[in-house]
Structure 1
Amino acid sequence: MRAPRTALLALALIAAPLATPAAASPSADPPTSQAVDTRVSVNTRAGLETAPELGMGVNHAIWDSQLGTPQVADLLKDAGVRAMRYPGGSYSDIYHWRDHTAPGGYVAPNTDFDTFMAGVRRAGGQPIVTANYGTGTPQEAADWVRSANVDKGYGVKYWEIGNELYGNGHYGTAWEEDHHEDKSPAGYAGLVRDYSRAMKAVDPSIKIGAVLTTPGEWPDAITAAGDAGSWNQVVLSTAGADIDFVVLHWYPRGTNAPDLLSSADTIPEMMAMAKEQIRRHTGRDLGIAFTELNTNFARNTQPTALFAADAYASLLERGAFTVDWWNVHNGLGKVTTVAGQTDYDDFGLLSSANCTEDGSVCQPALNTPFAPYHALALTSRFARPGDQFVAASSTDPLVRAHAARRPDGGLSVLLVNRDPDAARSVALDYAGFTPKSSAVVRTYGNGDTAITTSTGTSGAVTLAPYSITALELAPTSATTGPATPARPTASSVTDRGAVITLPTASPGLKYEVHRQVGTRTDQWGETTGGSFTATNLSPSTEYTVNVIARDNAGRVSWASPPLVFRTTAPASSTCAVRLANTNDWGNGWVGDVQVTNTGTTPVDGWVLAFDWPSTWQKVDSGWSGTWAQSGRSVTVTADAGNRLLAPGATVSTGFVGSYQGPNRLPTAFSLNGVPCSLR
């Protein structure tokens, strides 16, 4: 979070009196439109990631006078919050733990580290601590580790190095305090190594996180003057061996409800791109922590609650190990009415009891939960630590579906109706799971002050407009199957095949290998040994694979955690393509394309084709050819001046592209229908 906004809201928060809530704006009458039919499919054979212990998290700030109080700790515990971040966004880079000061900022009484830890322990959570990079030193951070873990036995495992340091002015915009002369990604990465080594010398068991830019969000992909690459490229390639996880923050840019809610649709590409960057520049798999998440619209009413439920589930099912809401308290902003409810423009989960300057509007009583609080509470009940997310899909773009399988064999389904006006009549289908007819149904609707619980059916449910619903289902029989296989690995990957290897294989079991295709799964085959060779694959294609164990009685295990791998481009072909991003400004870029005839005969007239990975990427203009786009598919057709491509010759073409989300580059190209190799 940026320091100026935080500081201003902090002062309002501390000065705010306890106030009697003003009369809320009347709720809109319930919509009377007929429910729209929707079908939701759940496939328990299509396993995703396991819900992590620290998945549900929040931020605490040292300017919040309610930090660590019993009432707040108990509210967070009731919401299923397991991770709590300290000392608070941009304040992290001015905070000195030893004397509990933040020069240039406000520090509320009774917000020191020991008070914070008392609240964490009361809530049954774990801390995530941000060490001061901007005005601190590696030695100061190492001393904090010693005090926390050696002297006091707090066992703080996760330590970030600074907060949003890409906002230190290096890219032209400055909100983060950074007193280092070198504000480049190389300067940050070099000091991250020093911090990590000093801190781990005190406690080798801790995990160190480095700040990255979020894929698709400014300044991702921008290379500043004098840098060897983008922020993420330089930080990961320089400090990757000394860190254990990366830190991302996300405040979607939507300024209205439809844009805000649809921003959650970018999460699969965002997570995939983050993982690709990590592997490419470190050669390792690192943890991913979203230690700040909030919105820029309707921050404490229903649109943000719907976004929160969808975003938490989407990020966790794709491998984030914590998602931390900004903030527990934050303070009053511009008061508006959203979907019939008063929105106080407050980043906080809980009311700060602020009033406007003229006293005409006041927030509810101190610590009253806002809508996003209830969204987190319902999401934590939907997917508990140790549950395995499984694939779920909806036929309706305004209904988002998620599912998780319980260790006891049960299943939970989360449904988010993003339509503000119409209800949805949902029919549910299940693959690999047979539920009992009854279901526990938990719902949080627009304007509600609590989650309601009722009894429903497993096959159908009606979703109110702008609502979050979770179904808890029991199996018809509690059959115990074999142990869940560990995540498989891929090796010997070519353009047409790969070897899928199981870490362990038990005698007497058969292992089915399934590929995920959306919610559907296709069984490639099975093996009794430790490996399976997949053949007849498509070049430059991403595959998601699960393994399921089956015993002689036909009982099956849960699906393994997913293996995601990409086949290579053809090693040899009659064409080769090179695509380079030569200039990127955060939501647009220049692409340079080189097409080479690697065959032995001339090509007289050519058409190059590729598909964008996502729907929000497009070609705005192009040169040296006729560029066209339909949906995600792009073609460029030779013009009169470059239609003849002799053997060994290369033609240059290019375009200006734009994007409104993660900008993953295509990896599969064809020339006149022939798959090309890459250069």
Structure 2
Amino acid sequence: MARLLASTVLLAAVAAAPTPAIAAPADVRVDVDTRAGLATVGDVALGVNHAIWDSQLGTPEVSGLLKDAGVSMVRYPGGSYADIYHWRDHTAPGGYVAPDTDFDTFMAGARRTGAQPMIIANYGTGTAQEAADWVRYANVTKGYGAKYWTIGNENYGNGHYGSAWEADEHADKSPKEYAATVTAYAQAMKAVDPTIKIGAVLTMPGNWPDGIVGTGDQGSWNQEVLTRAGSVIDFVDVHWYPGGSSAADTLTKNGHIQDAAFLLRRQIDTYAGTNAGRITISMTETNVDIGRNTQPGALFLADVYSGLLAQGVFTVHWWNVHNGIGTVSEVAGQTDYQDFGLLSSGNCNASVCQPPLNTPFAPYYALSMMGDFARPGDRFIGTGTDNALVSTHAVRRANGDLAVLLINKDPDAARTVALNYHGFTPAAGTPTVATFTNGAHAVSSASTGSASAQTLPPYSISLLTLHSANPAAAPAAPGRLTSTTTDRTATISWPAGAAGLKYEVYRQNNGVAEQLGETTSTSFTVRNLEPGRRYTVNVVARDGSGRASAASLPLTFVTGTPADAPCTVKFRDTNDWGNGYVGAIDITNKTASPITGWTLTFAWPTTWQSLGSGWNAVWTADGRTVRVTGDSPLAPGATTNVGFVGNYSGPNVLPEAFTLNGNVCKSE
């Protein structure tokens, strides 16, 4: 073989120079837009869970691995165990407590990691006094400065809605009782240390039991808890296990994040009373059902942490650090132990053993890439892609650099990506790209491709870091935006910046920015909007030298419907069971003339909503458009009622706008 190779080289030397290879054309377009500003990364963004049945939770080896990954928050004492755990004597009646997992050991590990704690006070079998004593021990006696405390774990799983896995010794298991007890806990705990932050457990929109109204309740779990305890809490705590019929299906669930975050924020603002804007959101458990230890879990982690943080969730936690072997299978050519852990527990079943203790699984490497990607103070910015198998996220650093995360969810094929930048010009040169591929045991790094073209290996995560070609100092970003809306307009306002600035107003559209106009004033009225539609806008300041600021934080608003409309529509979810509901629509003729042959039209806000059946009219659906046709005339001032069964498999965003015979109705 060596002699044949030498001959081939000799022939090449005397032959004509070969034609240079032509790069394969890009099959994916990616847009990265600094003008489409999203949330800022906080100092506790990257989290994981520790559990008292994990004897490794305080070891230097584990702390070192988590520190290397950039973990900034660790949660304790571990999921549902929190509702049976008594911190003072370090017991969990009915559960297993491993050696060396007490609170002080946990805190020592957290400090070695460089992470803040998220502590779960025992709601199920504990008391407000026990929780207050824990605060006193942690922050007064020991001086740990533990800031974040949640009251319970998944307390909606106490049997009130039928399923029971969470311990709860309260005779009343309703959200009303949970809210009253949260209030008592918050008052007792803040009497010890008024600087702490108290979190209440809510459900993630689109996940059970979201939307369900239990027997004797006035509203859903979230509505009841926020209405009754919103004034005493500082954040809400949700979990998200989106499931999926396959690895490919699971990896589509990141598409639910923006709508789920919107609905949760709307619930907080609607039900939590005055000053609800101070209440933030934590996501303290998430994981997948398929490929937990292999590449699907890694891709999901990178995609979902990024998506949640970009929407303003202040911390995201993987469940969990160690868990143990489950049903072993092969996923994308790799052995998967169905272990929720980031690190191997080193245990065995009847025929298979895991790798040695603390060996990182694939999601650990994704988490370490997140540590390099989303650093405290970075600002997420908008990105878009024209291929569903490629996800993109990006952050702008304080020094003007840009980091772009590219996720190829195709297990079989590489993807060639053309990157397009808006509001940013990358410096010349070959970028350094960190990559984690299927089956790898480390993140690799190389200078490859260009700022505008990259090839993504199958089932991979790639991170590009780019310097700006224009690093000169720019104006400060505009301050907090506010809006006043009608059905067709929105007046956007912001605080004044330095003298001589011009302001550009942008609308986010599929991850990139569309300029709506510019002004030298500190307000701008956007016209020709659609009624009942959600919009997200940013403002960019530009100085006399043409230098642009970073985008403002985003403002999301929903336009109204016309007050003088010839019809009104009242849309209600009257009975919800978690993936479907009975909807009722009241249609009122506000004109002085009868309406005959009427057709009501509306659109589902998402692709995972559909019509099951309908009554009191003829119901038809074409994609996301629903038409309801009635035969009986609608007399002046009269109201008719129609109903339907709606199905959903994600956050159930209800329609906001309806037209009757082409006229937009007022929504009530």
Q: Which band: TM-score by shorter chain?
A: over 0.9
Shift of residue 139 of structure 1? 0.8
CA distance in 1, matches of 2:528, 2:387: 33
2-structure distance, mates of 1:194, 1:41: 49
Letter in 2 for 1:412: A
Q: Give the Å deviation of 1:302.
A: 0.7
Q: Which residue of 2 aligns with 1:416?
A: 407
Among 571, 579, 603, the alignment partner of 1:579 is: 571
> Which one-letter code corresponds to 1:645 in the other structure?
L
Displacement of 1:35: 8.9
d(CA) in 2 for partners of 1:118 and 1:528?
53
- Report 1:357-436 matches (<5 A): 357=350, 360-436=351-427
1:288 matched residue in structure 2: 281
Q: How does 1:60-79 map to 2 (within 5 A)?
A: 60-79=50-69
Structure 1 residues 552 and 598: alpha-carbon distance in aligned structure 2, compared to 1, 3 A threshold: same
Name the CA distance, whole Å, in 1 between partners of 2:135 and 2:511.
45
For the residues of structure 1 that align with 2:150 and 2:577, how far apart are their CA atoms? 27
1:6 paired residue number: none
**Which of residues 460, 483, 496 in structure 2 aligns to 1:490?**
483
Cα separation, 1, equivalents of 2:493 and 2:26: 45
Deviation of 1:631 (Å): 2.1
Which residue number corresponds to residue 459 of structure 2?
Answer: 466
Out of 86-95 and 595-604, give the one that drifted further: 595-604
Report the aligned-residue RMSD.
1.3
User: Per-residue CA shift, 1:35-69, capped at 9, x if unaligned?
Assistant: 97111111111101111211110000011000111
SS of equivalent residue, structure 1 residue 172: coil
Q: Does 1:598 align with 2:598?
A: no
1:654 aligns with 2:646: no
Query: In structure 2, what is the equivalent of residue 678 of structure 1?
Result: 667
Could you tell me which residue of structure 1 aligns to residue 495 of structure 2? 503
Q: 1:150 to 1:503 in 2, by over 3 A?
A: farther
Deviation string, structure 1 residues 532-580 (Cα, Å, up to 9, x no partner): 3333332212111111111111111000110111111111200110111
- Separation in 2, partners of 1:339, 1:422: 12
Answer yes or no: is the 8 Å Cα contact 1:209–1:244 preserved in 2: yes
- Secondary structure of the residue aligned to 2:405 is strand
Deviations 1:651-672 (A, max 9, x none): 1111111100010101111111
- State the alpha-carbon separation in 2 of the partners of residues 521 and 37 from structure 1: 22
Matched, 1:137 2:127: yes
Contact 1:36 1:423 in 2 (8 A): no
* Contact 2:383 2:512 survives alignment (8 Å): no
In structure 2, distance between residues paired with 1:527 and 1:35: 40
Equivalent residues in 2 for 1:473-622 (5 A)? 473-491=466-484, 493-622=485-614
C-alpha displacement at 1:244, in angstroms?
0.7
The equivalent residue for 1:161 is 151
Cα distance in 2, alignment partners of residues 122 and 255 from structure 1: 39
**Worse overlay, 340-349 or 624-633:** 624-633
Letter in 2 for 1:146: R
Could you give the per-residue CA deviations for residues 99-123 of structure 1, whole angstroms, max 9, x where no partner exists? 1111111111111111111111111
Give the distance between the partners of 2:26 and 2:491, measured in 1 at CA: 45
Q: Distance in 2 between matches of 1:340 and 1:214?
A: 33
Q: Structure 1 residue 234: deviation in Å? A: 0.3
Work out which of the residue numbers 320, 327, 351 in structure 2 matches 1:327: 320
Give the Cα–Cα distance (whole angstroms) in 2 for the partners of residues 480 and 627 of structure 1: 58
1:274 and 2:264 equivalent?
A: yes
- The one-letter amino acid paired with 1:598 is K
Equivalent residue in structure 1 for 2:330, among 337, 343, 346: 337
Q: Deviations over 1:217-251 (max 9, x none)?
A: 11110011111111001000010001011010011
Residues 592-644 of structure 1: CA deviation (Å, up to 9, x unaligned):
11111111221111111111111000001111222122222211122x3x2x1
Q: SS at 2:431's partner residue?
A: strand
- After superposition, the Cα gap between the structure-2 partners of 1:621 and 1:36, relative to the gap in structure 1 and judged at 3 Å, is farther
Give the conservation status (yes or no) of the 8 Å contact 2:346–2:353: yes
The 3-state SS of whatever aligns with 2:427 is: strand
Residue of structure 2 in register with 1:312 after alignment: 305
**Do structure 1's residue 195 and structure 2's residue 185 form an aligned pair?**
yes
Superposition deviation, residue 499 in structure 1:
2.6
1:436 is paired with a residue of what secondary structure?
coil
Give SS of 2:306's match. helix
Q: Which residue of 2 aligns with 1:356?
A: 349
The offset of 1:92, in angstroms, is: 0.4
After TM superposition, the structure 1 = structure 2 runs for residues 175-324 of structure 1, keeping only pairs within 5 Å, are 175-283=165-273, 284-285=276-277, 286-324=279-317
Letter matched to residue 441 of structure 2: T
CA distance in structure 2 between the partners assigned to 1:394 and 1:134 by the alignment: 45
Paired with 1:504 and 1:123, the residues of 2 have a C-alpha distance of 41
1:361 deviates by 1.3
Aligned partner of residue 455 in structure 2, secondary structure = strand
The amino acid of 1:323's aligned partner reads V
SS at match of 1:647: coil
Partner residue in 1 for 2:625: 633
- % of aligned pairs identical? 59
Separation in 1, partners of 2:625, 2:528 = 23
Aligned pair partner of 1:450 in 409, 417, 442: 442
User: What is the CA distance between 1:263 and its match in structure 2?
Assistant: 1.3
Contact 2:80–2:166 under 8 Å retained in 1:
yes
Residue of structure 2 equivalent to 1:93: 83
Q: For 1:543 and 1:253, how far apart are their aligned partners in 2?
A: 29
Aligned amino acid, residue 521 of structure 1:
A
Alignment TM-score, normalising by the size of structure 2: 0.94
Please tell me whether the aligned partners of residues 26 and 418 of structure 2 are also in contact (alpha carbons under 8 angstroms). Answer: no
Give the counterpart letter for 1:424 in structure 2.
Answer: R
Quick one: distance in 1 between partners of 2:646 and 2:427? 51
Query: How many residues are paired up?
Result: 640
Aligned to 1:435, the other structure's residue is in SS state coil
SS of the residue corresponding to residue 65 of structure 1 reads coil
Counterpart AA for 1:366: L
- Report the equivalent of 2:44: 54
Corresponding residue SS for 1:264: helix
Q: Which residue of 2 aligns with 1:26?
A: none
CA contact (8 A) 1:583 1:589 kept: yes
Kept in 2: contact 1:590–1:655 (CA 8 A):
yes
Give the stretch that moved more between structures: 391-400 or 480-489: 480-489
Q: Write the distance in 2 (CA, Å) between the matches of 1:204 and 1:490.
A: 33
> Does the CA contact (< 8 Å) of 2:534 and 2:558 recur in 1?
yes
Could you say which residue in structure 1 is the equivalent of 2:20? Answer: none
Deviation at 1:344, TM superposition (A): 0.4
Residue 230 of structure 2 aligns to a residue in which SS?
A: helix
Deviations 1:265-292 (A, max 9, x none): 1111111111111111114122110011
Paired with 1:190 and 1:504, the residues of 2 have a C-alpha distance of: 43
Equivalent AA in structure 2 for residue 669 of structure 1: F
Q: 3-state DSSP class of the match of 2:480?
A: coil
Distance in 2 of aligned mates of 1:466 and 1:316? 22
| Aligned partner (choices 620, 630, 654) of residue 665 of structure 1 | 654
Question: Which region of structure 1 is more displaced relative to structure 2, 521-530 or 425-434?
Answer: 521-530
CA contact (8 A) 2:384 2:512 kept: no
Q: How far 1:476 moved relative to its partner?
A: 1.4
Shift of 1:517: 1.8
Which sits farther off after the overlay, 510-519 or 128-137? Answer: 510-519
SS class of match (1:475): coil
Q: Residue 436 of structure 1 aligns to which amino acid in structure 2?
A: A
Compute the displacement of 1:436 (Å).
2.0
